[in-house]
Amino acid sequence: MQSTEDLKKIASQVRRDIIRMVVEAKSGHPGGSMSSTDFMTALYFGVMDHDPATWTREGKGQDMFVLSAGHLTPMYYSILSRAGYFPTSELASFRKFGTRLQGHPSVRKGLPGVFQAAGSLGQGLSVAVGMALGKKAAKDNHSVFCLCGDGETEEGEIWEAAMFAAHHKVDNLIAMTDVNGQQIDGTTEEVAGLGDLDAKWKAFGWETISADGHDMDAILKAFSTAKGLEGKGKPVMILFRTEMGHGVDFMAGTHKWHGSVPNADQCAIALKQLEETLGDF
């Protein structure tokens, strides 16, 4: 278990990786990657029971994670590589021809750590529910985690999965929503009137936790609460309140950086705001 200070250092490096990956690839999705960086860093370096050395896609004897919001690959790949699933040097190949680091996660390129493809939105929660049931069938006392974007929860399948998981008492599942309030066309309220997510998940029969997704202590506390709720008959949803583009002043709080990439000058400014803590790839 890493200290809060250690986790913050890793998160700073992950944000540097995100900026440098999308600039190198000249494409990608930095905004949501940066809003989800802090709690995803906490998950992989402080919460999940996992071991890159013995990882298999079946996930036996380890916790599993499904990235449902598949466009958050810059954050996901950075964290996987920093956790030891593959060399950090490979981050430079992101989105390039022949890479294992496809624009959206693929299981066809042999990238360790990735359990399932994602990209078409709204599907990963169902997959995570199926994995959690698979773990129950195998009597494997491990958890399944899943990350959805808040805009993604406009997809109907999310709520199909929500109903199913509650009905089948899938209580070894901890899902997270990155509530950054932004999607491609604007704020989630402007685009779709997302409304009261806490009330919606509660109404669908889930244990619902809300936490500041940029406060490392609050993040760890939320995960600790979620773990304490496992095995009690309900799936758990953590709604992490975040800011799109968090960590770089000119990128923060706007949908404009959902899927656009800084130019060279902007990149230099961004990197000055993010401490290099573990060595750039």
Closest distance to other proteins from the beta carbon of 107 (Å): 5
If the CB atoms of residues 23 and 162 are measured against other proteins, the closer one turns out to be: 162
* Minimum separation from the CB atom of position 20 to other proteins (A): 28
Interaction of residue 161 with other proteins, rule CB under 8 A: yes
State the nearest-atom distance from the C-beta of 243 to other proteins, in Å: 29
Number of residues that bind other proteins (CB under 8 A): 38
Q: Please, which residue, 166 or 209, has the CB nearer to other proteins?
A: 166
DSSP string spanning the chain?
Answer: ---HHHHHHHHHHHHHHHHHHHHHHT---HHHHHHSHHHHHHIIIII----GGG--TT-TTS-EEEESSGGGHHHHHHHHHHTTSS-GGGGGGTTSTT-SS-SS--SSS--TT--S---STT-HHHHHHHHHHHHHHTT----EEEEEETGGGGSHHHHHHHHHHHHTT-TTEEEEEEE--EETTEEHHHHH----HHHHHHHTT-EEEEEETT-HHHHHHHHHHHHHHTTSSS-EEEEEE--TTTTSGGGTT-GGGSS----HHHHHHHHHTS---S---
Nearer to other proteins by C-beta: 127 or 211?
Answer: 127
Contact between 99 and other proteins (CB under 8 A)?
no
Q: Does the footprint of other proteins cover residue 50 (CB under 8 A)? A: no
Question: Is residue 255 close enough to count as binding other proteins by CB under 8 A?
Answer: no
- Fill in the per-residue mask, 103 to 142: x = in contact with other proteins (CB under 8 A), - = not in contact: ---xxx------xxxxxx--xxxxxxxxxxxxx-xx----
Minimum Å gap between C-beta 117 and other proteins is 4
156 belongs to the binding site for other proteins (CB under 8 A) = yes
How many residues can be counted in the chain? 281
Q: Which is nearer to other proteins, 123 or 182 (CB)?
A: 123
Footprint of other proteins (CB under 8 A): 57-60, 64, 66, 106-108, 115-120, 123-135, 137-138, 156-157, 160-161, 163-164, 167-168
